[in-house]
Amino acid sequence: MSADGSKAAFRVVAQSLQTVTHTQEDAMAGKFEVYEDRAGKFRFRLKASNGQVVATGEAYETKAAAKKGCEAVQRAADGATIEETAS
């Protein structure tokens, strides 16, 4: 994953997580799902504990690359702050 791709994926995750209502159920860890799309590319989605998709990743050529994308988002989100920016 490129540095720009990691930053873009992180922005998607941070913006999506702002919209999730935090209930006791939501406090449980979510999960990443890696899947093959209709075009034969691999993508990931991050699901909250309630099953709501809160982020999706870009298209990757291999499943291994998509998994690395998940890991990059995990690292980038660890301790990340939420900043509001103008559109």
Q: Can you tell me whether residue 12 is helix, strand or coil?
A: helix
The string of DSSP codes covering 16-75 is: HHHTS---TGGGS--EEEEEE-TTS-EEEEEE-TTS-EEEE---BSSHHHHHHHHHHHHH
Beta bridge partners of 53: 47
Could you say which of 3.30.160.160, 3.40.640.10, 3.90.226.10, 3.30.360.10 is the CATH number of the domain covering 3-77? 3.30.160.160
> Along the chain (87 residues), what's the average pLDDT of each consecutive run of 10 residues?
60 56 58 98 97 96 98 94 92
Residue 61: other Cβ atoms inside 10 A = 10
At 24 the pLDDT is 47
Residue 13's nearest CA partner among 34, 36, 30, 28 is 30
